């Protein structure tokens, strides 16, 4: 059996159990035992709403990108805007900017301080390399970095010792028009292993009622990783480079006519990163970890450009103390010189060249009480950025109670904040209103607000996990998040005439303020049931109620209904993974999402189906159909112009591994 084997032995009830005795120690250590009877120790003992999407879940859902894989987690709203653009949020506030959610790939934060959000089009990972995606709903507690207000998404790739050998996979279909992934991994028996990979894809456009098919997408990416373990030390070095062209449709305004237009053109996105990590185990659960990385992003959109170089260093130490205490602490520093040349005059970052920086620290104490059954976790994060004065604290208190081996109850209180970004403090954005009778244009302009304060949140959560027998596992969470100082669009004065290089125009001044507040509350339930050894069912249901409005004395123009109406109140997913035999797998994922009134998007339900066929010992075929229940359906209105329909699609994938 090769490493990274797409289909595992013994997974079917009819398999000969003694086939396992011929496997080596390493091979036995790779078999995924996805029985809910023993959910990972880590998840059961985590005082947070954590959900793990495994590499196997991703493969069986037929997901070809991280946003599509995230649909499997409860509490995460994923709405596909077009072929290369998604609106993602956790427990509300979903948008194409994905703000207030910290996203990491192997410990490297991938959110951009430009707008405190994530560009998903450039977060591509070879799906066969993904070991798991850990999704934490709610503020991530003290260990995680900045921006972890509504959640944390941590994408973790496999250790190189799990990806030895050659793997080639390629395929195509009507939307996934063509893709190819190649990976080679090697190493020695003395704790050193490595892999190199290359991947590329070309994706077609979704459905556009006006015939403007702008959203095609082509990408090429390559990278490597090496891991070396020696006694108490473990080292990892990894890096990637990518180059893409992704078609976008954006609004562009300028002071000269035409004052406002929609541009359909390619964004050219390229970049790379290199990361090094050292971890030393000091014995008895103590360890030290240092991580350094450099990340470069060159994003040329039709209406703006960002060239950002990020340098980051993080240190983390865990120590066990007497009295059943485990203390963790750490600090990190990140510096980003950035250059934003002006592409259209109506969208500018002022000044064009800046340096953003961020200093964080955290300390956390986990105290075991009452005979190992109760844990109290107290801690705080400290934060200082170039946008904030002084040090901000994000304290957190969590309680974990394990009455017995089958159940866990946890409760958490966290205070979290989203630090300001360039798009509030350094941003000048023009909006065209109309042209007056005398030919004078009338604009509104958001001016930079260097006084934008961090958004604040107090989150209260309660959760319960239960193993019912060996086949059923249930995870239930309830939350109440109270927000203030939320991002608002404020009018700051009366219209007046202004004269610039293009002439005179009427200008309504505005900026981004902290004028909204409100709360979200809801619950998520995620059962997992294994009625038979060859059949696994996973489900999730999420309920969200949002109530956001203006703060007293706020000059907000009325953005709250649009925020509330852009998140679904109900979401449900069911995933069925069925091993028909040792050679055939039949997988089904069904989801329902309720309406987004502010986006004019109705409720929808759709299903994806995958048929897996092991053609030979080293060759696997996957046939995947996606969004099958309608020829097309809309999920979000994030593009200018008419709502884009996500098409019914299918692809076939052949994987050869040795």
Partner 1 sequence: MEQVSLNTLPGRKRTAPRLNPATILLCLSVAAGLTLSLSSQAADEPLEYRVKAAFLLNFTKFIEWPASSFEASDSPIAVCILGDDPFGTVLDQILAGEVVNGRKLSIQRLKRAPAPRSCQVLFVSRSEKDSPKALPSPGKGVLTVGEGEDFVREGGMIAFLIENRRVRFDINETAADNAELKLSSKLLSVARSIIK
DSSP H helical segments within 112-242, as ranges?
none
Q: Which residue's CB is nearer to partner 1, number 236 or number 396?
A: 236
Alpha carbon distance 300, 155 (integer Å): 25
> Is there binding between residue 431 and partner 1 (CB under 8 A)?
yes
What DSSP designation does 623 have?
Answer: E
Q: Give, as ranges, the residues between 448 and 507 that touch partner 1 (CB under 8 A).
A: 470, 489
The residue with tokens 């949140």 is: 457
Q: Which residue's CB is nearer to partner 1, number 85 or number 181?
A: 85
- Out of 86, 179, 207, 304, the only residue in the binding site for partner 1 (CB under 8 A) is 304
- Out of 325, 345, 551, 576, the only residue in the binding site for partner 1 (CB under 8 A) is 576
The angle formed by the CA atoms of residues 57, 58 and 60, to the nearest 5 degrees, is 65
Binding region for partner 1 (CB under 8 A) out of 33-41, 141-149, 388-396, 611-619:
33-41
Binding region for partner 1 (CB under 8 A) out of 60-68, 180-188, 357-365, 525-533:
525-533
Q: Which residue's CB is nearer to partner 1, number 21 or number 438?
A: 21
Alpha carbon distance 437, 449 (integer Å): 32
Long-range Cβ pairs for the range 181-187 (8 Å, 24+) = 181/126, 181/127, 181/128, 183/126, 183/128, 183/129, 185/3, 185/160, 187/160, 187/161
For residue 401, the Cα-to-chain-centroid distance in whole angstroms is 29
* Residues recorded for the chain: 658
Give the list of residues 6+ apart from residue 462 with CB closer than 8 angstroms, or none: 409, 410, 411, 412, 477, 478, 479
Query: At closest approach, how far in Å is the CB of 593 from partner 1?
Result: 9
> Is there binding between residue 427 and partner 1 (CB under 8 A)?
yes
- For 68, the token pair is 């599509």
Q: What is the largest CA-CA distance in the chain?
A: 88
- Out of 347, 400, 486, 507, the only residue in the binding site for partner 1 (CB under 8 A) is 347
> Is there binding between residue 557 and partner 1 (CB under 8 A)?
yes
Q: Which residue's CB is nearer to partner 1, number 381 or number 647?
A: 647
- Out of 15, 319, 367, 468, the only residue in the binding site for partner 1 (CB under 8 A) is 15
**With contact defined as beta carbons under 8 Å apart, do 293 and 273 qualify?**
yes
- Out of 357, 413, 464, 590, the only residue in the binding site for partner 1 (CB under 8 A) is 590
Please classify residue 222 by burial: count the beta carbons closer than 10 Å to its beta carbon, then call 0-12 exposed, 13-18 middle and 19+ buried: middle
Q: Which residue's CB is nearer to partner 1, number 315 or number 586?
A: 586
Cα separations (Å) of 458 from 89, 94, 524, 592, 599? 18, 19, 19, 30, 28
Binding region for partner 1 (CB under 8 A) out of 234-242, 278-286, 474-482, 650-658:
278-286
- Out of 327, 363, 382, 595, the only residue in the binding site for partner 1 (CB under 8 A) is 595
- Out of 237, 359, 555, 609, the only residue in the binding site for partner 1 (CB under 8 A) is 609
Query: At closest approach, how far in Å is the CB of 144 from partner 1?
Result: 19
Query: At closest approach, how far in Å is the CB of 21 from partner 1?
Result: 5
Give the list of residues 6+ apart from residue 258 with CB closer than 8 angstroms, or none: none
Q: Give, as ranges, the residues between 215 and 274 that touch partner 1 (CB under 8 A).
A: 248, 250
Q: Give, as ranges, the residues between 34 and 53 that touch partner 1 (CB under 8 A).
A: 34-35, 37-42, 52
Query: At closest approach, how far in Å is the CB of 311 from partner 1?
Result: 25
- Out of 324, 373, 451, 532, the only residue in the binding site for partner 1 (CB under 8 A) is 532
**Number of residues engaging partner 1 in binding (CB under 8 A):** 90
Alpha carbon distance 420, 446 (integer Å): 15
Alpha carbon distance 4, 7 (integer Å): 9
What DSSP designation does 128 have?
Answer: G
> Is there binding between residue 355 and partner 1 (CB under 8 A)?
no
- Out of 25, 322, 437, 616, the only residue in the binding site for partner 1 (CB under 8 A) is 25
> Is there binding between residue 446 and partner 1 (CB under 8 A)?
yes
> Is there binding between residue 283 and partner 1 (CB under 8 A)?
yes
Query: At closest approach, how far in Å is the CB of 50 from partner 1?
Result: 13
Alpha carbon distance 143, 363 (integer Å): 8
Q: Which residue's CB is nearer to partner 1, number 532 or number 617?
A: 532
Q: Give, as ranges, the residues between 148 and 187 that touch partner 1 (CB under 8 A).
A: none
Binding region for partner 1 (CB under 8 A) out of 217-225, 257-265, 478-486, 625-633:
625-633
Binding region for partner 1 (CB under 8 A) out of 31-39, 233-241, 353-361, 495-503:
31-39
Which secondary structure element, helix H or strand E, spans residue 604, and what is its range? strand 604-616
Query: At closest approach, how far in Å is the CB of 423 from partner 1?
Result: 7
- For 21, the token pair is 């005795």
Query: At closest approach, how far in Å is the CB of 173 from partner 1?
Result: 19
Alpha carbon distance 609, 88 (integer Å): 23
**With contact defined as beta carbons under 8 Å apart, do 56 and 178 qualify?**
no
Q: Give, as ranges, the residues between 84 and 143 that touch partner 1 (CB under 8 A).
A: 85, 95-97, 115, 131-132
The angle formed by the CA atoms of residues 112, 115 and 119, to the nearest 5 degrees, is 50
Q: Rg (Cα) of the chain, in Å, rounded?
A: 25
Q: Which residue's CB is nearer to partner 1, number 210 or number 404?
A: 404
- Out of 373, 600, 617, 658, the only residue in the binding site for partner 1 (CB under 8 A) is 600
Binding region for partner 1 (CB under 8 A) out of 30-38, 239-247, 408-416, 457-465:
30-38
> Is there binding between residue 351 and partner 1 (CB under 8 A)?
no
DSSP H helical segments within 93-226, as ranges?
none
> Is there binding between residue 30 and partner 1 (CB under 8 A)?
yes
Binding region for partner 1 (CB under 8 A) out of 103-111, 357-365, 453-461, 589-597:
589-597
> Is there binding between residue 638 and partner 1 (CB under 8 A)?
yes
Q: Which residue's CB is nearer to partner 1, number 470 or number 658?
A: 470
**With contact defined as beta carbons under 8 Å apart, do 324 and 112 qualify?**
no
3-state secondary structure labels for all residues of 52-120:
EEEHHHHHHHCCCCHHHHHCCCCCEEEEEEECCEEEEEECCCCECCCCCEEEEECCEECCECCCCECCH
Alpha carbon distance 628, 631 (integer Å): 7
Give SS3 for 269: strand
- Out of 450, 531, 615, 658, the only residue in the binding site for partner 1 (CB under 8 A) is 531
């Amino acid at each position: 059996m090769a490493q990274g084997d797409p289909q595992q032995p013994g997974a079917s009830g009819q398999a000969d159990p003694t086939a396992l005795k011929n496997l080596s120690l390493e091979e036995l250590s790779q078999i995924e035992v996805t029985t809910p009877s023993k959910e990972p120790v880590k998840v059961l003992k985590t005082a947070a709403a954590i959900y793990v999407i495994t590499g196997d879940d991703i493969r069986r859902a037929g997901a070809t990108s991280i946003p599509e894989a995230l649909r499997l987690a409860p509490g995460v709203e994923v709405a596909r805007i077009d072929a290369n653009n998604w609106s993602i949020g956790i427990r509300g506030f979903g948008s194409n900017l994905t703000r207030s959610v910290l996203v990491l790939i192997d410990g490297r934060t991938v959110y951009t301080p430009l707008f405190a959000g994530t560009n998903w089009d450039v977060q591509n990972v070879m799906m066969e390399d993904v070991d798991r995606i850990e999704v934490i709903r709610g503020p991530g507690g003290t260990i995680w970095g900045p921006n972890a207000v509504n959640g944390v998404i941590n994408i973790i790739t496999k250790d190189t010792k799990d990806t030895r050998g050659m793997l080639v996979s390629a395929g195509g279909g009507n939307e996934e028009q063509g893709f190819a992934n190649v990976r080679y991994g090697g190493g020695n028996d003395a704790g050193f292993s490595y892999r190199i990979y290359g991947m590329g894809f070309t994706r077609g456009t979704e459905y556009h009622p006006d015939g403007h098919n702008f959203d095609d997408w082509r990408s090429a990416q390559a990278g490597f990783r090496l891991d070396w373990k020696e006694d108490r030390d473990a080292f990892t070095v990894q890096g990637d480079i990518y180059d893409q062209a992704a078609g976008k449709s954006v609004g562009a305004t300028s002071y000269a006519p035409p004052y406002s237009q929609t541009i359909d053109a390619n964004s050219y996105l390229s970049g790379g990163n290199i990361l090094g990590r050292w971890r030393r185990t000091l014995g008895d659960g103590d360890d030290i970890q240092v991580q350094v990385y450099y990340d470069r992003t060159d994003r040329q959109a039709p209406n703006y450009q960002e060239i950002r170089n990020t340098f980051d260093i993080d240190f983390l130490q865990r120590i066990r103390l007497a009295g059943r205490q485990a203390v963790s602490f750490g600090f990190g520093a990140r510096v980003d010189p950035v250059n934003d040349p002006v592409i259209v005059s109506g969208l500018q970052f002022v000044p064009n060249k800046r340096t953003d920086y961020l200093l964080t620290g955290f300390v956390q104490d986990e105290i075991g009480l009452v005979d190992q059954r109760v844990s109290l976790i107290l801690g705080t994060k400290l934060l200082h950025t170039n946008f904030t004065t002084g040090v901000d604290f994000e304290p957190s208190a969590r309680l974990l109670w394990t009455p017995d081996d089958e159940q866990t109850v946890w409760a958490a209180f966290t205070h979290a904040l989203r630090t300001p970004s360039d798009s509030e403090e350094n941003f000048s954005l023009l909006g065209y209103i109309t042209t007056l009778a005398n030919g004078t244009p009338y604009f509104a302009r958001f001016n930079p607000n260097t006084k934008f304060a961090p958004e604040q949140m107090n989150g209260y959560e309660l959760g319960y996990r239960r193993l019912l027998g060996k086949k059923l596992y249930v995870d239930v969470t309830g939350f109440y998040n109270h927000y203030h100082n939320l991002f608002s669009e404020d009018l700051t004065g009366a219209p007046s005439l202004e004269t610039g290089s293009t002439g005179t125009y009427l200008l309504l001044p505005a900026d981004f303020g902290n004028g909204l507040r409100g709360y979200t509350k809801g619950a998520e339930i995620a059962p997992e049931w294994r009625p038979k050894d060859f059949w696994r069912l996973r489900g999730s249901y999420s309920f969200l109620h949002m109530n956001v409005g203006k703060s007293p004395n706020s000059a907000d123009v009325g953005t709250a209904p649009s925020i509330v109406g852009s998140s679904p109140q109900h979401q449900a997913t069911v995933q069925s993974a069925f091993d028909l035999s040792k050679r055939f797998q039949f997988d089904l994922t069904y989801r329902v999402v309720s309406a987004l009134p502010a986006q004019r998007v109705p409720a929808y339900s759709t299903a994806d189906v995958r048929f897996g066929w092991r053609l030979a010992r080293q060759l696997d075929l996957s046939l995947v159909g996606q969004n099958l229940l309608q020829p097309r359906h809309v999920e979000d209105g994030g593009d200018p112009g008419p709502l884009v329909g996500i098409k019914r699609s299918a692809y076939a994938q052949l994987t050869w591994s040795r």
